[in-house]
Amino acid sequence: MKKRKAASRCWENISNDLKQNTRFEKTIKGKWLALFGYSQILHTFAQLNLQLLQNATMYSKN
């Protein structure tokens, strides 16, 4: 649950930065920050999906 909140907070930070400064995404720093943020979000969702899959397989064995 904490990871999901952190991912959404990270997404909010990126979107707020992009709203405040439209040229932000054109800077190298902006591109790297956005890339890092997106990769963190994808990583978090991948972990959540893996955890759900492991839980499902454990329950199906029982």
Instruction: Provide the sign of the torsion angle of the four alpha carbons 18, 21, 26, 28, taken in this order.
Output: negative
Q: Given this model, what pLDDT does residue 31 score? A: 75
**pLDDT > 70 in the chain, percent:** 71
On whether the CB atoms of residues 31 and 25 are closer than 8 A, the answer is yes
Q: Would you list the domain boundaries of the chain?
A: 1-61
Instruction: Tell me what the mean pLDDT of segment 12-28 comes to.
Output: 67
Q: Is the confidence at residue 3, as pLDDT, over 60?
A: yes
pTM above 0.85, yes or no: no
| Torsion angle (degrees, nearest 10) of CA 45, 50, 52, 53 | 140
Q: Give residue 18's pLDDT band: very low, low, confident or very high (50, 70, 90).
A: low
Name the residue with tokens 């890339």.
35
Q: What is the CA radius of gyration of the chain?
A: 16
